[in-house]
Amino acid sequence: MSETLARPTGLRADAARNRARLLEVARRHHSQTGQLPLNAIAAEAGVGIGTAYRHFPSQQSLVEALAMDALDRLVGAVKQAIAVEDPARALRAMVTTAYEHLCDDAALTALLAGGTFACADAAAVAGGLFADVEILLRRSRQSGALRAEVGVDDLRRLLCGLSAAATAGPAPLGNDRGRYVEVLLGGLRP
């Protein structure tokens, strides 16, 4: 019943406001420093530390809450890619959109790079995503658009690593980052 959820329902108005504030501050911290110090985030959000822990009993649950919206969008984009008839084009669409989503949302990258889940709903959504991707990969493989040995988990790792390569460092790539996904796409062909 009172299981931790990345996207809770039926929050009281004030609780929802606090949650939103916490997420907002946390997002800034995470994207800027890569860290999620709950004490500082709570203070900056003008919220008691206990409240922060009530909403996010672990850092992982906070990461999942941060990533939830982006995860939803990614799921939608992948479903759109699956709808493309030509397997090669579908694969390209899926990889490209996943790459863009990961580059745009550090929490999503952290969540998928970790591969573990604290919140049941996040795990469920991610599981659906992986299942969708699996379908697409199988089609791509059968049509000869994808190397045989690349599975869902490989793609997860490759995409996370690639977005890290594009995003990390003192001078993260901006508009230019599209080049990297072309390298990956080229490499995925048999």
Interface contacts to its own copies, rule CB under 8 A: 1-2, 43, 46, 113-116, 147, 149-150, 154, 157-158, 160-166, 168-171, 173, 179-180, 182-189
* Residue 179 C-beta: closest distance to its own copies, Å: 5
Q: Check: CB of residue 25 under 8 Å from CB of residue 18.
A: no
Q: Which of 3, 9, 32, 39 binds DNA (CB under 7 A)?
A: 39
Q: Considering beta carbons, is residue 9 or 169 the nearer one to its own copies?
A: 169
For residue 48, the partner it binds in DNA, its own copies, none, with Cβ less than 5 to 8 A by kind, is DNA
Q: Considering beta carbons, is residue 94 or 166 the nearer one to its own copies?
A: 166
174 is written with which tokens?
A: 């901006």
Distance CA(35)–CA(37), nearest Å, equals: 6
